[in-house]
Amino acid sequence: MIFDKKLLALAAALFAGPAMAETDMPFALDWKFEGPSAPYFHALDAGYFADAGLAVTISEGAGSLDAIPKVATGAFPVGFADINSLMRFLDQNPGAPVTAVMMVYDKPPFAIVGRRSLGVETPADLEGKILGAPPPDGAWAQFPIFAAETGIDADAITVEPVGFPTREPMLAEGNVAAITGFSFSSTLNLKRLGIPADDISVLLMADYGVDLYGNAIIVNTDFAEANPELITSFLGAVAMGWKDAIATPDAAIEALLERNPAADAALETERLQMAIDANVLTDYVMTNGMGGIDNTRMMNAIEQTKSVYEFNNAPDPSIYFDGSYLPAAEMLMLK
């Protein structure tokens, strides 16, 4: 019997179905489309997510707390958020289906950013000054730990609640002497506003005894438990995006500019490099790879948090971080 080859091919295609159906994976960032988000856009454009069978869309956020409820409610299966804020969220919402699965900012960018011309160069200089702090800011949430570790008198500091859009302009105009924020965001925003680099002082909290972790990839645990291979594939693509951004930051910034054409390429490249050097590519990550945590340090971070926050429930590190979804160790080495 002679068969029509075209009919055979059509039948095979009908029975086989799609070669690889992509799963929608909306990803909630913590902040705007700036330099540190470039690795995710690069991973998208390089096809790393698509190769893993994922149709990823990336949405900007409005602060370190923003992605947590989005992921906890299931509106987003994955997000990017401050793990310390996640700890407090889970304490206040026990059983919420959200946890961290991949540490990105091994050294958190929480900082006090001041101006030398306004008398701020050391933690003690904050006393008697006005500090601008957005209430939802992740750095502001950790300020009591910074104050305790440095021994400054927090009562001697006037705290001015400010909005994210007005934070750096208020410092540039001299209405406040310092602000809380992420080091790379506030520093570069001030430079864009015309403040000379030698007038900007950056007090990175991690350099003053604050032993916390920073932002991590978080997941909706219901989604993750039902789709563990998808989460692992997503994390692998994230790692490849960061590895490429470290090797060729200009290429990653090109992907960012496709989504934010108004961004200054040189400024965002500098912002990305600041995040890589100070927050992502730490000694721990160089040795162990990206994504994991040190259990002893995590316990220290919880103890520091307990010094300024009263837990309603006994803190449990296994609720806040689950490393079981991380891909193979060799995929997590960034250099």
Supply the pTM of this predicted model: 0.88
* Residue from 142, 149, 135, 69 nearest 112 by CA: 142
DSSP codes of every residue in 288-310: H-SB---HHHHHHHHHHHHTTS-
Could you list the pLDDT tens digit for every one of the 335 residues in the chain? 333 333 333 333 333 334 457 999 999 999 999 999 999 999 999 999 999 999 999 999 998 789 999 999 999 999 999 999 999 999 999 999 999 999 999 999 999 999 999 999 999 999 999 999 999 888 998 999 999 999 999 999 999 999 999 999 999 999 999 999 999 999 999 999 999 999 999 999 999 999 999 999 999 999 999 999 999 999 999 999 999 999 999 999 999 999 999 999 999 999 999 999 999 999 999 999 999 999 999 999 999 999 888 999 999 999 999 999 999 999 999 99
Three-state DSSP class for 117? helix
Tokens of 128: 């008697």
The DSSP annotation for 18-57 comes to -SSPPEEEEEE-SS-S-GGGHHHHHHHHTTHHHHTTEEEE
Q: What six digits make up the tokens of 177?
A: 């002497």
Token pair belonging to 125: 């200089």
Phi, psi at 277, each rounded to 5°: -70, -40
Residue 243's CB is within 10 A of a number of other CB atoms, namely 19
Return the amino acid letter for 40: Y
Cβ burial of 171 (10 Å; 0-12, 13-18, 19+) is buried
Give which of 108, 138, 100, 107 is closest to 238, Cα–Cα.
Answer: 100
Which of 147, 142, 156, 141 minimizes the C-alpha distance to 123? 147
Residue pair 184/268 in contact (Cβ under 8 Å)? The answer is: no
The predicted pLDDT at position 266 comes to 95
H or E segment at 266? helix 265-275
Q: What is the pLDDT of residue 208?
A: 96
Q: Name the burial class of residue 250, with classes exposed (0-12), middle (13-18) and buried (19+) by CB atoms within 10 angstroms of its CB.
A: exposed
